[in-house]
Structure formats: structure tokens, C-alpha cells
Structure 1
């Protein structure tokens, strides 16, 4: 539930060229719409989790002292998410966050003379300087991308189960992750949605979308809405249940020299302008014509097109085939006639062997 919150917390710790003090980290998170109870947990639990992972050869008391009460660390969902993320932390993240841990500082002192090893060390429960506020009733202002993905599938009649931290929907394994960024204009939430399963041309389908806002709630919700409107239904229809995409997808036959495919096309999404500056129908036809020259295996393939234009010029030209840039597709987009308005458009399609 707090996978997105942990990424936001890491972003706050990593901000700037120097280590941030506690007050600055909490204030930054609160200014970005993070509830105080969550901001304080991120401040406390990220260094503890990262520090314990650095010292994982040592023994630790499983509790922390919250005021005068001993509580199990793994009883707090924010800590559990922080601990899971510690396993994939990069060197810079470990240096900035893990080294703030009191346990790491103590270990460095004990190991300095070389008379002890990590496996010799036994640490008592972490003692907090002040009691934590109680958990809030919601996500604390940072929606979980994994929860959003799971909920959307369940609402379409395809429940998601979890086994050892992995999410499964029928024969598929799904995941979603937030990559937070900041800009002078506000917050940018890049969400990566991943689906793996049998029959795919690559290991997994990876769909990446970005949303903008003044808070993480706004930015994450904006990005998720783009994925749910544009890519979710083609994925459901092509990978789970052909009827599951409803009227949000269009199926047509795609004749390829190797063998035919059924093409599932999602809705065209248009941003910043009421009208597309590139005609979607002719562009898709031109892309499919180019695709006939590509060697396609008898597996499931997918095509993602994102184009932005301004003043009669293409500003962003991104055409991905099975997650990889497709130069012939980008050349096709570059040759298309372009209108004058500032506009962006996105299309996602899946090819299923007929």
C-alpha cells in the first residue's frame, strides 16, 4: 500500500547536493501533500530499514520503542514497504539514507578497531525520540500505483492475488512503480505498469505514463488516469479476456506476410488541445503498412505511439514496438502532416496471433 509513498520519501531524502535535516525532509513532504503521520513515518522508517539491510549479517531486535511502548517493526505497513525497497536501493540512496541509521553509526564505531565483525553484532530495539502519530485512514496523500492497478483490474471483474509480494491476475503477473521527479512547474509522477505472462514477444509489457500536479495525489492520479483510459482495456482484451475490453477497444484483422494477427486498438488520447494535430487513422494505417516489413514472431506484440506537436513541428516522436524504439515507425511519424496547435496524443495497440 505504501510503495509509492516510500519512493516519494526517498526523493525527499535525496533532494539537493547535501544531506537534508529532519525538519526539511518533513516540511518538503508536507508541502507536496503528504500527510504528517506518513511524512514522520518515512523520516523514521527509511533510515532504519536501509540501515538494517546494510547490516543484515548482524542480529536485530524485531521491535522499535515508540514512546514507552515496544512495537514490532513489521507490524507497521510503512516500514514493511521501506524494508522491501531497501533490497533494491542504489549506492547513492544507501549512502544518503542508510548511513543516517543509528545502528550503522554504532556499527562503524564498533568495527573501526577490527576486533568485531558484522555477524558478531547484536542490536537492541530502535528508540524513537518522540512517539509516532497514529496511522491515518487512507494512503496519506500518496496513492499506491500497485493498488491502483489491482483495483482497476478487480473492478473489471479480474481479481488480483498476492503471493510472496508478487501480484497475479489469472496467468499474468503485474506490477507498477512510481518514479518521482520535480520541476520548477511542480511535481512529475512517472508510473511504469508492467505485465508479464505466456505468449509475449518480450519478457513483459511495460507501459510508462507521466502525470503532473502540485501534490503527489494530483500527479499520480493524473498519470494513472492516462494508463487506465488508454492502455488497460487493450491489455485486458488481448491478454485476459477478449470481451473484457468492452467498447473501449477496436478489433481488426492485420494481414502480415508471416502470418495474420488480430489487432486490438485502444482509444486515442489527446492532451492540451481539443483536436489532434496529426490524423490518427491515416497515421496508424501508415504505421501498420511499415510493420508488414518487420519480422514478427507468432507471439503477442504491442505498439505504443506518443507524439507531441507545436507550431507545425513534432516535438516528441516516440514509437515503441515490444518496449523498444522502432526507427521505421518514428520515420513514419516524422513524415506525417502536422497542425499548428500545441497537442499531444497517445495510442496503444496489441497484436495477437490469429
Structure 2
């Protein structure tokens, strides 16, 4: 499975002009120690959903940690999870860590946070679950999240925010907002406060946002 993951990531980056080479479990840009990326697949128990962990090392102290569920067993599940990474996080990671921006896949803007200015890369919200679920992202969710970001105690480093919204049905939801891999209360309140569309069946939406210190 490790070879499948590495070959898929190598091909994905190569399609966007980035050549990676293997160094044991990690994939590196030639001649550079950072950034480095790897994927680890965890098979689901008793035919359940497996999990792909993607780690992107920014420097000796900071690592972006993301996980994706994969439907199906073995290689099929792993490929499904890799596809989820390609559709969701990949273009944000490519822009923030490898400085290659696909304007069709990420929104780019500037944002002041305290004394620092950041270039913000916002990925698409991607849908999993019921294909008939609504895909309209509430504008108040994004504006509330922006307000939370501008008051966050951010250092002059790369930061990343992961938003997950799950519509369980019957008015129930599952919501998670992480800042630099850690639960972020202000971001969670911002997302929960929005008027998200309800649906009778389960669906989930997730996206990744990266903040890079502006030159």
C-alpha cells in the first residue's frame, strides 16, 4: 500500500509541475529537506471505512496533519481516500507549501491579523455523502470565520485551518474546526453560528485554509 500511496502522490504533484522523490516513507523536493509529505493507510476493521493520514512537514517543529476516510477495503479504499485528498486539501497544500497556485481551485486573498499580514489560500468545500445534498455554503459562515481569524493570536508563520461540517439529519450536526491541528473554539463558534442548509440524509462538507506570511 505504501508504494500505491507514494506513486499516486508523485504523479499528482508531477501533473502540477512539482517533482518529488522518495526518501524512505517521505517524498521530498529534490535537494530540499522541507516541505516533505507522506501518506499512511490504516485498514478499516471488519470491512469498515479505512483512514489515510497525510502528513506535510513544514520545518523541524511544524507538521500539517490531515486524515481522509476511504470507502472500500484494501487498495479501493486507499484510492478513494487519496482521491478525497486530491479534491480537498491538495491545491491548498500546493499553494501554501510548494508555492504553486491554481486559481481555479483556490481563492487567494490578503488578510491582516494583528501586526501580521497573510496571504490566505481557501480551498473548495468538498461534499461526501448524499449527492443530492445542498452545496451552497452560507456567506455568514465565511464572514464569521474571517472575523475569528482576524482576532486569533497568530505568529508570523504558516497556519492552517480545517473546517468540517456534517449534517446527520433530524437537525443534528457534527462540526469540527481545527487551527494548526488543534480544536479552535472561536472558529467552531463561527461555523456553528451560520445558517447551514438542512437535509434529511447524511452529508459532510470540509475544506482547508492556509495562511502564509505575506512578503
TM-score range relative to shorter protein: 0.7 to 0.9
345 and 225 in structure 1: CA distance in 2 versus 1, 3 angstrom threshold:
same
Q: Deviations over 1:196-249 (max 9, x none)?
A: 134x9x611111111212x32321111111110111111111111243x34211
Q: State the distance in 2 between where 1:266 and 1:241 align.
A: 15
Structure 1 residues without counterparts, runs of 5 or longer: 4-142
Asked if the contact 2:162–2:209 (Cα under 8 Å) also holds between the matched residues in 1, the reply is yes
286 and 276 in structure 1: CA distance in 2 versus 1, 3 angstrom threshold:
farther
307 and 164 in structure 1: CA distance in 2 versus 1, 3 angstrom threshold:
closer
Asked if the contact 1:313–1:338 (Cα under 8 Å) also holds between the matched residues in 2, the reply is no
SS in 1 for 2:43: strand
Structure 2 residues without counterparts, runs of 5 or longer: none
Higher strand fraction (1 or 2)? 2
SS in 2 for 1:295: coil
SS in 2 for 1:286: helix
Corresponding position: 1:188 with 2:49: yes
Bigger relative CO (Cα 8 Å, ≥ 6 apart): 2
Q: State the distance in 1 between where 2:117 and 2:91 align.
A: 22
SS in 2 for 1:337: coil
Asked if the contact 1:173–1:195 (Cα under 8 Å) also holds between the matched residues in 2, the reply is yes
Please give the residue correspondences for 1:260-275 in structure 2 after superposition, counting only pairs within 5 Å: 260-271=117-128, 272-275=130-133
SS in 1 for 2:48: strand
TM superposition shift of 1:331: 1.9
What is the aligned partner in structure 1 of residue 91 from structure 2? Answer: 233
What is the aligned partner in structure 2 of residue 209 from structure 1? Answer: 68
Asked if the contact 1:187–1:219 (Cα under 8 Å) also holds between the matched residues in 2, the reply is no
What is the aligned partner in structure 2 of residue 249 from structure 1? Answer: 106
What's the TM-score, normalizing by structure 1?
A: 0.54
Runs of 4+ deviating beyond 4 Å: none
276 and 260 in structure 1: CA distance in 2 versus 1, 3 angstrom threshold:
farther
Corresponding position: 1:259 with 2:116: yes
Higher helix fraction (1 or 2)? 1
What is the aligned partner in structure 1 of residue 196 from structure 2? Answer: 338
Asked if the contact 2:58–2:64 (Cα under 8 Å) also holds between the matched residues in 1, the reply is no
TM superposition shift of 1:346: 0.7
Asked if the contact 1:196–1:203 (Cα under 8 Å) also holds between the matched residues in 2, the reply is yes
Corresponding position: 1:162 with 2:19: no
Aligned length: 208
Q: State the distance in 2 between where 1:180 and 1:280 align.
A: 35
SS in 2 for 1:205: strand
What's the TM-score, normalizing by structure 2?
A: 0.86
226 and 166 in structure 1: CA distance in 2 versus 1, 3 angstrom threshold:
closer
